[in-house]
């Protein structure tokens, strides 16, 4: 039976969020995201709240990459071991990106729960403004919505995307509609050895997930960035 495209995931996404920071932002794939910071004042609570909101903004590009890869696999009508043997190896890419999505979401959710507890502490509660608490509640709701989309994606993959042992090779990403901003962050996979450029981030042979801004990326085999960054699309795989 030909797998049905996950159009629900694509329509549920508001589009990749902008994130501050380096041009290539690493996304954890095997360990929880940054732990919650102990709060000793309202100022520290607000600082941590802003940091958590930035961390959550990194999830949207991961959702987009997984959704587009799953839809590409579904529309192509390729499934089972054939999908693993296909040079694009979409099931493996979906698994790597999905793991990064889960880890990032777990970490953000843990930090939000800590913020919610701290919001009721004597150091924060008397000074916390109502809009701030409302935004925290909205963030918590958005996390639950992302969790549900993750469950839907995982269920689809269990049925249509087999666990592939084949190693990932270089692969182009999946094109976006023209209306998506060129400045939007893009989730890709990169393998070393080498440097992920332009910000000279060291790579290993293990697949890593990174968020790339509108300037693009490339991998340099030398000890400095000698390659020319090129635009990348969601779920691309960069290799030396």
Q: What is the pLDDT of residues 188-198, one digit of tens each?
A: 999 989 999 98
Domain contains 6: no
- In a domain, residue 149? The reply is yes
Quick one: which H or E segment has residue 92?
Answer: helix 90-119
pLDDT at 153: 95
Q: Is residue 224 part of a domain?
A: no
Query: pLDDT category, 36, cuts 50, 70, 90?
Result: low
Asked if residue 56 is part of any domain, the answer here is yes
Distance CA 127, CA 145 (A): 29
Residue 217 inside a domain? The answer is: no
Cα–Cα distance for residue pair 2/5, rounded to 1 Å: 9
Q: Note whether residue 131 is domain-resident.
A: yes
Number of domains in the chain: 1
Structural domain containing residue 131: 32-160
Residue 6 or residue 40, greater confidence: 40
% pLDDT > 70, the chain: 78
CA angle, 29 then 17 then 104, to 5°: 20
- The DSSP secondary structure of 10-49, one letter per residue, reads HHH---PPP--S-SEEEE-SSS--PPPPP--SHHHHHHHH
Q: What order do you get walking across the sheet with 24-27 strand by strand?
A: 24-27, 208-212, 186-190, 237-238
The model's pTM is: 0.80
C-alpha distance from residue 153 to each of 56, 126, 240 (Å): 18, 41, 30
List pLDDT tens digits, range 60-98.
999 999 999 999 888 876 666 667 777 788 989 999 999
| Bridge partners for 203 per DSSP | 194
Query: Does the residue 80 lie in any domain?
Result: yes
Whether residue 185 lies inside any domain: the answer is: no
Q: In 3D, which of 61, 7, 59 has the Cα closest to residue 183?
A: 61
pLDDT tens, residue by residue, 89-127: 898 999 999 999 999 999 999 999 988 888 877 777 777
The pLDDT, as a whole number, for residue 64 is 94
């Amino acid at each position: 039976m030909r797998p049905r495209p996950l159009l629900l995931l694509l329509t549920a996404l508001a589009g990749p969020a902008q994130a501050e920071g380096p041009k290539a932002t690493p996304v954890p794939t095997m360990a929880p995201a940054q732990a919650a910071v102990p709060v000793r004042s309202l100022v520290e609570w607000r600082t941590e709240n802003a940091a958590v909101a930035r961390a959550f903004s990194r999830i949207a590009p991961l959702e987009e990459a997984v959704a587009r890869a799953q839809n590409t696999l579904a529309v192509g009508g390729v499934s089972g071991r054939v999908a693993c043997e296909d040079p694009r190896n979409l099931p493996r890419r979906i698994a790597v990106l999905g793991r990064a999505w889960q880890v990032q979401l777990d970490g953000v959710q843990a930090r939000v729960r800590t913020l919610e507890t701290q919001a009721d502490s004597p150091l924060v509660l008397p000074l916390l403004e109502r809009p701030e608490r409302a935004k925290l509640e909205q963030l918590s709701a958005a996390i639950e919505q992302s969790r549900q989309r993750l469950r839907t994606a995982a269920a689809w993959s269990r049925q249509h995307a087999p666990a592939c042992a084949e190693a990932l090779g270089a692969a182009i990403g999946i094109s976006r509609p023209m209306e998506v901003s060129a400045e939007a962050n893009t989730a890709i996979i990169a393998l070393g050895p080498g440097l992920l450029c332009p910000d000279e981030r060291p790579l290993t042979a293990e697949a890593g997930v990174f968020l790339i801004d509108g300037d693009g990326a490339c991998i340099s085999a030398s000890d400095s960035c000698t390659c020319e960054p090129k635009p990348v699309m969601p779920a691309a795989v960069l290799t030396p």
